[in-house]
Amino acid sequence: MFSYRHAFHAGNHADVLKHTTLIAIAQYLAQKDTPLSVIDTHAGAGLYRLDGDFAHTSGESLDGIARILAVDPATLAPALQAYAQAVLAFNPGSRLRTYPGSPALMLGLLRPQDRLRLFELLPQDARSLTGNMLQLQENKSVQVLTEDGFVGAKKFLPPPDRRGLLLCDPSYEIKTDYGKVVALVEDSLRRFATGCYAIWYPIIGRQEAHDLPKRLKALAAKAGKNWLHATLTVKSGKVQTLPDGQVKRPGLPASGMCIINPPFTLHAQLEAALPQMVQLLGQDKNAGFTLESTGR
């Protein structure tokens, strides 16, 4: 079974892609004074200790955010610079100990007039999320809900001021998650057609994973909305059999972001950032990226 619980993979290559994209979107949307509503359907714990049991066991941040922070920030594309700065804000002295998940990163960007709605169904993670947000929120509007984000997000659409960003990045531990993502986006577009929808997904050997971006693009086209699709591959996804007969599984080799109603600036930002992600995060000759959007 494929497993993608946030704590095990904090700061890995998939987070670099997801959070670079998410920050670029939020920064664009925050340029207007009108309040913005942000919904995270699968928020996790919000903050992760990279020397904690989960992240330390996997060590995936060493091949992710640690590689980004190891280079001169002046050489990074603007979107990657913004991402690196956002992570360093949670690490005094620039020593990487803590990785901010999507809730913490969004909270750092939102203004007092904005709203952040966080869904987390796992009780343990929801308790950690609540504590982390209380520690960080200051005078900002944050609500943590121990509910199924696939269902609960609907009650916040459309947002009062008709400006919103919804992030959906479930674990995809079970195949039905793919269908639930499509159903959520379809329903959300009916409720709030002008919202920005950011969907992260793993690129693995499942037909459902292969079909998901196609289905999301079809929903966008049907609704007459623009879309952007970016993928980042860092290594081969093939299972290897070692000389001693042991089977070596590669872990997650690639992931993608599909955005409906993306900011018009996002394509150019990722066009500059993705080649650097490949250069810095690539682990073998299979490393690469794709980037496509409506009208390109």
Looking at residue 53, its pLDDT comes to: 54
Find the distance separating the first CA and the last CA of the chain, reported in whole Å: 36
Q: What is the pLDDT of residue 7?
A: 66
pLDDT value for 20: 98
Structural contact between residues 1 and 240, judged by C-beta atoms closer than 8 angstroms: no
Q: Residue 61: name the closest of 95, 12, 2, 98 by CA.
A: 12
Task: Say if residue 173 carries a ligand binding annotation.
Answer: no
Q: Is 114 annotated as a binding residue?
A: no
Determine the pLDDT at residue 287.
Answer: 97
Conformation bin of residue 125: beta by default, left when phi > 0, alpha when psi is -120 to 50: alpha
169 annotated as belonging to a binding site for a ligand: yes
114 is catalytic: no
What pLDDT score does 5 carry?
53
pLDDT lower than 50: segments of the chain: 1-4, 54-57
Q: Which of 63, 114, 125, 169 is catalytic?
A: 169
pLDDT recorded at residue 219: 98
pLDDT for 93 equals 83
211 is in an annotated binding site: no
> Residue 251 has what pLDDT?
86
Range 6-293: architecture per CATH: 3-Layer(aba) Sandwich (3.40)
This prediction's pTM: 0.93
pLDDT score at 220 = 98
Residue 286: which of 248, 231, 246 has the closest Cα?
Answer: 231
In the chain, alpha helices (H): 13-29, 53-58, 65-69, 78-88, 102-109, 123-136, 149-152, 176-191, 207-223, 266-281
Q: Is 120 annotated as a binding residue?
A: yes
So what's the pLDDT on residue 2?
35
| Residue 296 pLDDT | 72
